[in-house]
Amino acid sequence: MAAGLRHNHGPSAPLESRPIAASFRMSAIEIRGVTKQFGAVTAVNDLTLDVPEGAIYGFIGPNGSGKTTTIRMIMNIILPDSGEIRVLGRHSAVSARDEVGYLPEERGLYKKMTVRRLLRYYGRLKGRSLAQVDPIINRWLDRLQLTDWADKRIYQLSKGMAQKIQFLGAIISEPKLLILDEPFSGLDPVNTSSLRDVVLELRRQGTTIVFSTHDMSTAERLCDRIFMIFKGHKVLDGTLDDIQARYGHDTIRLRLGGSASVLDGLSEIESINDHGNYQDVRLAGDPQAFLQKLVACTEVRHFEITKPSLHDIFVRVAGT
Amino acid sequence: MTRILTVAESEFLTLVRSKTFIFGIFMMPALISIFFVFMEYAQRHIDREDRRFVVIDGTGGLYDVLAREAEHFNHESGAGDDRTGPHFLPTRFEVNGQSLDDVKVDLSNEMREEKLFAVLEIPASVFEPGGEASIKYYSQNTSYQRLPDWIEETLDAEITRRRFRTAGIDQARVTTLTKPAKFETFGLVERSRDGTIVAAPETDELKRFGVPVFLLTLMFLAVMTSAQHLLNAIIEEKMSKINEVLLGSVTPFQLLMGKLLGVGAVALLLALVYFTGGLYMVFEMGRFDLINIALVAWFLLFLVCAALTYGSIFLALGSACSDLRDAQSLLQPAMILVVLAYIGSFVVMRAPDSTLAVAMSFIPTMTPFTMMLRMSITPTPPVWQVMLSLVLAVATTVAIVWAASRIFRIGILMQGKAPNLPELLRWIRA
C-alpha cells in the first residue's frame, strides 16, 4: 500500500480541508467538532467541515458511514452530542430553515394530494405566500414537462414523475442552500440527466448545493468539492484535483493486444480494475520500468499515466 | 405560528374532504334512522308465522280464555298479505289418564319435528293466592319471547281477575286506590328583580338525561374521530416517509401543534354539524328551553381540551410506531382512558354532587367529560370547581402536548419495533 494512503485514511488523522477557492467567500455551512453517537456507535466523530457559498459539495461515503446523520444534524432534525453547526451564518438550520431546501434520502409524498396542492403546501411551509409560490410552481412544472399533471393526484403519477415532484418540493421555495440526500437514486438516465441540469441551473443562480451520492461519476462531474466520510470520520475533503493529486499519479490505463492475464503475477501491480477492453492498474513501483517489463511480454496498444478516479479513491478508502 | 397554521389548514382540509369523514359524519344519524326503519319493517314483516301451541290446562277454564284472546290477537295481526304479526293457535290437550311425563316427551318430539311450536302446562292450583304453583312453558325456540310474553300477560290478567272475584273484592276499586300518586320534579323557585315569583321550571327526562347524554356522546364521538384520524395520518406519513421532508421545513413541535389544531378544528366542525341537527330537532319539538348558549360554549371549550389532550396522546404513540398494527396494540391503554372517561361520566350523572363526581372532575383525562356533564345537569358545580378543572385541563393539555412533542421528535424518525413504556419515558426525558 502506498505511504500516502496509509497516512490519509487513518481515523485519527483526517485530511485538512483545502483552502477555499477564491470564488467562494463565505461558508454556507460551518461544522465544528461535531460528534454524534447512537448508543455505543459513533456515527459522526469530531467532524469539522466548511461548505462554501455557491459551491456544489458532494458528500460521499459507503452505507452507514455517517452521511445522512451529518445531513440530519445540519438540518437540525437530530442534534449533535457535541460541537457546533452554523447554517447560512445562523446558529442552526431552524433559524435559516426558510432559506434551506431539503430532499431527504427517505422521502415520500401525500398520495391523495394533487401535485399543485402538494407543492403549494411545501412552499407555504417555507413561509412563502401562494402569490409567491404559484409562479414558481408553474415555471418548474413547465420546465420539467409536468404541467399537464399539475391537477392530478400523486398516486396517478409514474415513479419517475413522483421523484421529480419530490425534487421540486425541495426547490420550490428557491432556497439559498439546497441539501439533497441521494437525489438521483432510483432515477432512470433521462430523469437523472434532467435533474442534474436543474442542479446546475440552480448553481448558476447562486444556490449552494450539498448532495450525498454513491454515484462517483456524478460526483466527479458535478461537484466543486468532495467530502468523504468513513466510519464517522472525515477522510477526504477538497476539490477533485486536490484529492486526486493527494492520491498521486500511480494509476495506469492499459489497452493490451493480448489477454489481460499477463498482468497476473507482475509484482509492481498493487491492484487491477479490469474494464474488459481496458484495464486500470495501480502501481507500487516506477511506471517506466513497468512499461518496459510489459512490452517484453505482450503487445501494449495504450499506456497512459492517469489520476485515480474518484471511484478508485472511494474503493481504496472504503475497502481498507 | 404561520407554519403551525399551514399544517393545521392542510390537516383540516385533508380530513374534511376525505370520504371517510363525510361518511362518518352522516353515519351516526343514518345508522339510527336505518335502525328505526328496520325495526319498523321487522315488526311488520319478519314475525308472521303461525305459532301452534298445546295447552295442558289443569284448571279446565283458562284454555278458553287463551283461545278467545288468541282469536282477538290474530284478528289484530290481520290476514293474508296485510298480516303484520304472528298468529297464535292454541290447542287443548287432554291427558286422559296418561303419564304427564310421557305426554311431555311425546309433545317434545313433535316440537323437535317442528309440528308444534310450544307446550303450555297450567297447574290446577294456579288460582291459589300466593301459591307456589307455576305455569310451565316448553319450547325448542327459547329465545322467542313474543308468545310466552303474550301468554303470561293474558293468563296473569285472568288469574288476577278470578282471585279478586273469589275473594269478593272489587278489582276496579283496588286499581283506582292503588294508582300511583303523581310525582313531578322541578328546579328552584326564584324571585325576579321586580319582586314577582318565577315558577320553578319543570324538569323532564329529556332535560335531565337527554341533553347530558347527547353532549357526552358527541364529545366522545368527536374525540374518537379526530384522534383516530391523527393516528392514521401519522402512521401514513411515517410509512410513506413524508415526515423527514416536513422536518426540513418545520420543527416537530410545530408539526405536532399544526396537526392537533387541524383535528381540533375538525372536532369543532363535527360538533357544529351535530348541534345543527340537534337544533333542528329542538325546533321540531318546540323545546326551546333545551337551548343553553352558555352550556354550548363550555362544551366547545372542553371539547377542544379533550381533542387536544387525547389527540396528542394518540399522535405521540402513533409517531412511535412503524405500522398501524403496532399502533393499535400500543394505543389500547389510551383507548381505555377515553372509554373510561365516557363510561365514568354516567356514574357522575347519578349523583353529580357526590365526592366521587367532584374527584373525577379533577382527573385530567376525565375532566373535559365529567365537568362538562356536571355543568349540563343540576346542581351545577361551584364556579371555583369549574375554573380549577379548566386550569387543570389546559395545564394537562399543555403538558401532554409537550411530552408528545418529545416522543414525536424521536418517534417519527424511528423504524422497526414499537417502543415500550419505559422507552417512551426515556424519549420524553431525552
Quote the CA–CA distance of A71 and B321 in Å, as a whole number: 24
The complex's ipTM? 0.72
Closest CA in chain B for residue A130: B6
**pLDDT of amino acid A2:** 32
Pairing type for strands A177-181 and A100-103 reads parallel
Per the CB < 8 A criterion, the answer to whether B77 and B85 are in contact is: yes
Query: Which residue among A102, A109, A124 places its CB closest to the CB of B242?
Result: A109
- Taking an 8 Å cut-off on Cβ atoms, the answer to whether B245 and A166 are in contact is yes
Maximum mean pLDDT: which of A162-171, B150-159, B280-289:
B150-159
Instruction: Count the Cβ atoms, other than its own, within 10 Å of residue A179.
Output: 29
Rounded to the nearest integer, the mean pLDDT of chain A is 82
B181 near B194, Cβ under 8 Å? Answer: no
Tell me the CA distances in angstroms from A312 to A274, B289, B322, one per residue in order: 12, 85, 39
Classify residue B202 by its DSSP letter: B
What's the CA gap between A195 and A162, in Å, rounded?
13
Min distance A169 CA to chain B CA atoms (Å):
9
Of B276, B267, B335, B277, which Cα lies nearest the Cα of B305?
B267
- Alpha carbon distances (Å) from B130 to A40, B125, B159, B165: 84, 10, 12, 15
Which amino acid is it at A318?
A
Instruction: Please report the pLDDT score of residue B398 as a whole number.
Output: 81
User: Three cell numbers at A26?
Assistant: 463565505
pLDDT-derived band of residue B147, with 50, 70 and 90 as boundaries?
A: very high
Tell whether the model's pLDDT for residue A12 goes beyond 50: no
Q: Which residues lie below 8 Å from residue B375, measured CB to CB, with a gap of 6+?
A: B295, B298, B381, B386
Task: Say whether pLDDT at B302 is over 50.
Answer: yes
Partners of B10 on chain A (C-beta within 8 Å) are 121
What does the alpha-carbon distance between residue A78 and residue A104 come to, in Å, rounded to a whole number?
Answer: 13
Residue B332, Cβ density class (10 Å: 0-12 exposed, 13-18 middle, ≥19 buried) = exposed
Of A174-183, B255-264, B288-297, where does mean pLDDT reach its minimum?
Answer: B288-297
What letter would DSSP give residue B185?
A: -
**pLDDT per residue as tens digits for the range A145-156:** 888 898 999 888
Which pLDDT score is estimated for B417?
67
Q: A22-26, A32-36, A215-219, B225-229 — which one is most confidently predicted on average?
A: A32-36
- Pull the grid cell for residue B246: 416536513
Cβ–Cβ below 8 Å for B3 and A109:
no
- pLDDT single digits (tens) B193-231: 888 887 777 667 777 778 888 888 888 888 887 777 777
- Beta-carbon count within 10 A of B182 CB: 5
Averaged over A23-28, what is the pLDDT? 66
Chain A interface, best mutation among B245, B246, B250, by max A CB count within 10 A: B245
Read off the C-alpha cell for B105: 316427551
What is the side-by-side order of every strand in the sheet holding A225-230?
Answer: A100-103, A177-181, A208-213, A56-60, A225-230, A233-239
Q: Kindly report the number of other CB atoms within 10 A of residue B364's CB atom.
A: 18
What average pLDDT does the segment A203-209 reach?
A: 90
Distant-in-sequence, close-in-space partners of A2: CB < 8 Å, separation ≥ 6: A247, A248, A250, A270, A284
The pLDDT value given to residue B71 = 95
Distance from CA of A199 to the nearest CA of B (A): 19
- Of B144-158, B163-177, B376-390, the range with the lowest mean pLDDT is B376-390
Asked if A87 and A28 touch (Cβ cutoff 8 Å), the reply is yes
CB B186 within 8 A of CB B202: yes
Q: How many residues does chain B have?
A: 430
Q: Do B242 and A110 lie within an 8 Å CB cutoff?
A: yes
Segment among A6-15, A182-191, B156-165, B280-289 with least mean pLDDT: A6-15
Q: Which helix (H) or strand (E) holds A241?
A: helix A240-246
For residue B400, what pLDDT is reported?
A: 81
Q: How many CB atoms lie within 10 A of CB B61?
A: 12
Q: Chain B: residue nearest A77 by CA?
A: B247
Question: Measured between alpha carbons, how far is A161 from B144 in angstroms, rounded to an integer?
Answer: 63
pLDDT of A93 over the 80 cut? no
Minimal Cα–Cα distance from A166 to chain B, Å? 9
Please state at what angle helix B383-411 crosses helix B252-285, rounded to 10 degrees. 140
Indicate if the pLDDT at residue B69 is higher than 90. Answer: yes
Contact A316, A280 (CB under 8 A): no
Distance, in Å, from the CA atom of B190 to the CA atom of B196, rounded to the nearest integer, reads 9
Euclidean distance between CA atoms B57 and B124, whole angstroms: 8
C-alpha cell recorded at residue B1: 405560528
A140 burial (CB, 10 Å; 0-12 / 13-18 / 19+) is buried
CB pairs under 8 A between A and B: 62
- Whether residues A112 and B14 touch (CB distance < 8 A) is answered with yes
A1 sits in which H/E element: none
Q: What is the pLDDT of residue B260?
A: 85
Confidence of residue B375 (pLDDT cuts 50, 70, 90): confident
Q: B350 to each of B183, B302, B310, B340, B365, how far by Cα in Å?
A: 19, 21, 26, 16, 20
**Cα-flanking dihedrals φ and ψ of residue B263, to 5°?**
-80, -25
0.90 surpassed by pTM: no
Q: Alpha-carbon distance A129 to B188, whole Å?
A: 57
Query: Residues A74-96: what's their mean pLDDT?
Result: 84
Q: How many CB atoms lie within 10 A of CB B130?
A: 5
CB B111 within 8 A of CB B140: yes
Q: Cα–Cα distance between B207 and B289 in angstroms, integer?
A: 9
Model confidence at A11, in pLDDT bands (50, 70, 90)? Answer: very low
| pLDDT higher than 50, residue A24 | no
- Distance from the B228 Cα atom to the nearest Cα atom in chain A, whole angstroms: 18
Highest mean pLDDT among A187-191, B85-89, B405-409: B85-89
Angle at B243 between CA B242 and CA B247, to 5 degrees: 125
Question: Mean pLDDT throughout B303-329?
Answer: 79
Alpha helices in B241-292 (DSSP H): 243-247, 252-285
Mind listing the pLDDT tens digit for each residue in A108-123?
A: 788 888 999 999 999 9
Residue B155 has pLDDT above 90, yes or no: yes
Q: Specify which residues A103 forms β-bridges with.
A: A180
- Residues B249, B250, B255, B261, CA torsion sign: negative
Q: Round the average pLDDT of chain B to a whole number and report it.
A: 83
| Contact between A208 and A55 (Cβ < 8 Å) | yes
Task: Tell me the C-alpha distance between A205 and A135, whole Å.
Answer: 17
Q: Which three cell numbers stand for residue A310?
A: 474518484
Q: What is the pLDDT of residue A319?
A: 66
Nearest CA in chain B to A175: B249
For the segment B304-331, the average pLDDT, to the nearest whole number, is 78
Q: What percent of chain B has pLDDT over 90?
A: 16
Measuring CA to CA, how many Å separate A245 from each of A280, A286, B387? Answer: 17, 17, 74
Query: Does B90 sit behind a cis peptide bond, omega within 30 degrees of 0 on the bond before it?
Result: no
Q: Do A125 and B247 touch (CB under 8 A)?
A: no
> What b/e string do you get for B373-383 counting C-beta neighbours within 10 Å, with b at 16 or more?
bbbbbeeebee
Nearest Cα of chain A lies from the Cα of B226 at a distance, in angstroms, of 19
Query: Does A101 sit within 8 Å of B245, measured CB to CB?
Result: no
Residue type, B56: I
Interface residues of B toward A, Cβ cutoff 8 Å, are 2-3, 6-7, 10, 14, 18, 237, 240-242, 244-251, 413
The span from the first CA to the last CA of chain A, in angstroms, equals: 10
pLDDT tens sequence across B47-59: 788 999 999 998 8
Using the predicted structure, report yes or no on whether residue B280 has a pLDDT greater than 60.
Answer: yes
The predicted structure's pLDDT at residue A3? 31
Share of chain A above pLDDT 90, in %: 12
Across the interface, whether the CB atoms of B248 and A106 are under 8 A apart is answered no
Supply φ then ψ for residue A57, to 5 degrees. Answer: -110, 120
Instruction: Give the three-state DSSP class for B259.
Output: helix
- For residues A180 and A103, the answer to whether their CB atoms sit within 8 Å is yes
Contact B240 A170 (CB under 8 A): no
**Can you tell me which residue has the cell 290446577?**
B124
Q: Give the pLDDT score at A15.
A: 34
